[in-house]
Amino acid sequence: MRIKDFLFFFLLTFFTCNINEVGKGGIKERVGQDTLVFLKADQWEKLGKFYPCGGGEGLFLGKNDFYECRILINFPLDTSFKNSEKVRLIFYSKCFSPVNFKVYPLILEWKEKEVTWKLANSSLRWINYGGDYYELLLGEGETKEDSTIIELNPQYFDTLFKINYGLILIPQKKSEKFISFYSRTEMKPPKIYLKKNGKDTIFYPIANAYIVDTLFEIPENYLIIGSGYPFFSYLKFDLKNLPQEATIITADLILYPEIDSSYFPLDTNEIAILKLTKDYSINRENTPYEIFKRTIFLKKDSLIKIDLKNLINFWRDKPDSNFGLFISLYPFISYPRFLLIKNQNDKIPKIEIFYFLKPKERL
C-alpha cells in the first residue's frame, strides 16, 4: 500500500469513530482500537490555610487588594548597648517594589518556623491577628532599590533590652507588588547597626519570618491555587470504568487558568501535584500528602497540562490508595499570589487518558 493511501485510510478511521458517554463519572469515549477518554472529577473542593512562611524564600513586605505581608525579625541584643547614640535597621532587596512601612516592638514570643498571621507559635495565638506590638513607633521609611536603611529612635529602642521579642514591619499604603528582602540565611542578611561611644557594632538576626493574610473572597465556579497563603484545589477521580486490561499510553491533567481575574504577577511559576495518603473527608486541609510532581507554568499559557500517567497506574494497581490529590503553587512560602482555575461548563479540570486494548484472541 502506498504511503498516501495508508494515511487516507488512517485519517478516515480516526475521524469516523463514535463518541459515547460511559459511566456516571462522565467518561467520554472514542471507540476504536485505541481509546481516548476524559475523566471529570467526582469530588472537588477549594481550601486555603495559614502556613508558616519563615524566610526560606525571602521576606515579603507590602499590601494590595489581595494580601497583606508583614515582616518579623529578632536580634541577639547585648544590654551593654543600651543608650546607643545611633541605631539603624538595614535590609537588602531581592525583588524591589516601593513600600511605605512603620516599625514597632513586638510583645509576644514567636518562633520562626511556626509563626503565621494567626499564631505566634504552634501553641500560642496572637491576641490581635497579624502580630501583637507596642504602639511605640521605633521608625518608618520607604523601601529602596538596593538597600533600605531605617533610622530607629535610640531612646525608644531601649525598650527591646527589657523584653526582646523583636520587631515588626507593617506596610502603610497599598502598592501593586510586594518587596522581597534577603533573609538571615541568604547572601545579604538583614542587620542592625548600633553606635555607642564612637564604636560601631553590627548584629545579625537570630530569627526572621514574613506573615501574610488574604483580603479577598474566592469567586464561585472557580477552583484556586496559591502561595504565601497557600490555596489548594482538591480533586478525586473515579477510575473504575477504565478497563483493567488497558495499557495507558498517556494520562494528562487538563486545567484552564483564569489569568485576568487572578493576582498572578510572575511570568514563570511552579505547580505541585500532591498525592494524598489519607482520606480527605476526615483530615480536610491537614490531609497528609506526598509531592508527586512539580511542573513549570508560564503566565502566558492558556492551558495547563500535567502528565499523571504514573499516578493513574499507581491508583489502578492500588485502588484503595486513591485518596485524590491537591494542586497548589510551589514553593508554598514563595511570592504571595493566586491563580483561579475554571470549573464550569466545558472548562473543568479533567484527565485526558489515551489507552490501548489488545484485540481479543480468537478461538
| DSSP string of 97-156, one letter each residue | ---EEEEEEB-S---TTT--SSEEETTEE-SSTT--B-S---EEEE--SSEEEEEE-HHH
Give the Cα separation of 90 and 193 in Å (integer): 8
pLDDT band at residue 5 using 50, 70 and 90 as cut-offs: very low
Give the Cα separation of 157 and 160 in Å (integer): 6
Name which of 209-223, 248-262, 348-362 the model is least confident about: 348-362
Measuring CA to CA, how many Å separate 13 from each of 4, 10, 20, 107?
A: 14, 5, 16, 74
Residue 174 clears pLDDT 80, i.e. is over it: yes
Pairing state of beta strands 59-63 and 67-74?
antiparallel
Name which of 13-22, 178-187, 324-333 the model is least confident about: 13-22
pLDDT band at residue 357 using 50, 70 and 90 as cut-offs: confident
Torsion (CA) 93, 95, 99, 101 in degrees, nearest 10? -40
Give the Cα separation of 190 and 315 in Å (integer): 47
Average pLDDT over residues 33-45: 91
| Higher pLDDT pick, 274 / 23 | 274
Residue 11 clears pLDDT 70, i.e. is over it: no
Is the whole model's pTM more than 0.85, yes or no? yes
CATH hierarchy code of domain 15-49+230-356: 2.60.120.970
> What confidence tens digit (pLDDT) does each residue in 61-100 have?
999 999 999 999 999 988 888 999 999 999 999 999 999 9
Give the Cα separation of 292 and 277 in Å (integer): 11
Give the Cα separation of 170 and 88 in Å (integer): 17
Residue 201 clears pLDDT 80, i.e. is over it: yes
Rounded to the nearest integer, the mean pLDDT of the chain is 90
Residue 12 clears pLDDT 70, i.e. is over it: no
pLDDT of residue 22: 42
CA nearest to 72, candidates 52, 88, 87: 52
Domain edges within the chain: 15-49+230-356, 59-214
pLDDT of residue 33: 61
pLDDT of residue 23: 38
SS3 284: helix
Cell numbers for 288, please give them. Answer: 497528609
Name which of 25-34, 134-143, 261-270 the model is least confident about: 25-34
pLDDT of residue 7: 41
Residue 27 clears pLDDT 90, i.e. is over it: no
Neighbours of 223 (CB within 10 A): 26
Give the Cα separation of 76 and 165 in Å (integer): 10
CA nearest to 96, candidates 172, 175, 170, 192: 175
Neighbours of 202 (CB within 10 A): 11
Give the H or E element holding residue 292.
strand 289-298
Cell numbers for 169, please give them. Answer: 514591619
Give the Cα separation of 59 and 48 in Å (integer): 21
pLDDT of residue 96: 92
| Higher pLDDT pick, 180 / 21 | 180
CA nearest to 311, candidates 271, 353, 357: 353
In single-letter form, the type of residue at position 301 comes to: D
In single-letter form, the type of residue at position 309 comes to: K
pLDDT of residue 6: 40
Residue 8 clears pLDDT 90, i.e. is over it: no
Bond into 331 cis (ω within 30) = yes
Residue 18 clears pLDDT 50, i.e. is over it: no
pLDDT band at residue 360 using 50, 70 and 90 as cut-offs: low
pLDDT of residue 361: 58
Average pLDDT over residues 308-336: 97
